[in-house]
Amino acid sequence: MKFKRHRAAVGLLAAGTFALTACGSDQNISAANMNPALKNLKVECGTQPVVAEGSSAQKNAMDIFTRAYTMKCPGQKIKYTATGSGKGVAAFTAGQVDFGGSDEPLQQGAETAAAKKRCNGNPAWNIPMVFGPVAMSYNLPGVDNLVLSPETIAKIYQGEITKWNDPAIQQLNPDAKLPAIEIVPFYRSDESGTSANFQKYLATATDGMWTGEGKTFQAGPGVGQGKSGTDGVTSAVKQTKGGFTYAAWAFPKNAGLGIASIDSGSGPVSLTSKSAGKAIDGAKIKGQGNDLRLDLKSIYGNDSPGVYPIVLATYEMVCSKGYDPATAKSVKAALKVAANADPQQLEKAGYAPLPPKFKSRVMEAVNAISA
């Protein structure tokens, strides 16, 4: 029997959707200014809305995708609810949405088995559609150019560094006047792919000094405060003098918070699209066929000069087969448009545009989706 999504879930998702009418006028798309890749893209538009849920880190990118899809396919839209990667996986495997968004691919075992069942016995694919640098964000009045190392970040979350003028931080910032105030670390309290990737980064970049892993962040005993969602940790830092967190670049960037440079051993590197792009260029794909899961250690362990290594990939989890024909058509159309969204708009929103060498692989995978 072909898969039919649970229509009851559609109404519940409506409150969180991103529609064209809700978008700011500064990023509106018209046929006249549509980027060339999208303008020249051949798309067989679907006939029904695409319903999706998951990663809050890709929220603003999905907003851009939605506007582009509505322009390319008038009357169509992506109804995306940003609830976090854990809920995105759960909604996808339960058949409540057409695709799920997660900052971590489906885990081998229970998750891949549940996804296969949901896809009527066919494997699900992880397609990296959004590359988002993770910013180390801080609220420290008077300090505009903070430098941190992987080791100092790990020690902050382990409770070993508790004040901003700690000698280890001062050594990385010899010319800065660091205040003697408490560091107030915030982390995601919900299951989060951002947390999973950030912990992988810390473990890789510190050669195992950090031992936490998984979607639940594992701070030291009594260290920091948990907040739900990317909005939650960003807002907490903005409201707290001495606050510190990890968050998708778009959020602290839009909030006007400080963003630390990272010194991985080859000198400080500030977060820019160019420095994040250098990390993405070094990424390797470890998935098979059209399952494009990445070997993130090839990103997180990159200590070359000019590389900003804390970059996560947000995957769209899709059925390779098993959709009903109308859903398959709509999902393919929406994701083809997403892969060709305006790179300048993505950069403005705090994302690294899809690298060319990945774009062809992504398009190949999307085109292979079938009923």
* CA distances, 53 to each of 62, 169, 324 (Å): 10, 39, 19
Q: Annotation-wise, does 194 bind a ligand?
A: yes
Q: Annotation-wise, does 149 bind a ligand?
A: no
Task: Give the CA-trace dihedral at 254, 260, 264, 270, to 10 degrees.
Answer: 60
**Of 249, 254, 261, the residue nearest 352 (C-alpha):** 249
Q: Annotation-wise, does 275 bind a ligand?
A: no
* CA distances, 324 to each of 72, 103, 163 (Å): 22, 26, 56
- Tell me if 189 sits within 8 A of 228, measured CB to CB: yes
* 356-364, Cβ contacts within 8 angstroms, sequence gap of 24 or more: 357/281, 358/128, 358/280, 358/283, 358/292, 361/285, 361/292, 362/127, 362/128, 362/129, 362/292, 363/336, 363/339, 364/290
Q: Annotation-wise, does 228 bind a ligand?
A: no
**What is the number of helices (H) and of strands (E) in the chain?**
15, 14
Q: Annotation-wise, does 193 bind a ligand?
A: yes
E strand residue ranges, the chain: 50-54, 78-82, 99-102, 124-138, 147-148, 184-188, 225-227, 243-248, 258-259, 261-263, 268-269, 284-285, 294-295, 311-319
> What angle (nearest 5°) sits at the alpha carbon of residue 40, between those of residues 250 and 350?
5
Residue ranges for the known binding site for phosphate are 55-57, 85, 103, 192-194
Binding residues, by number, are 55-57, 85, 103, 192-194
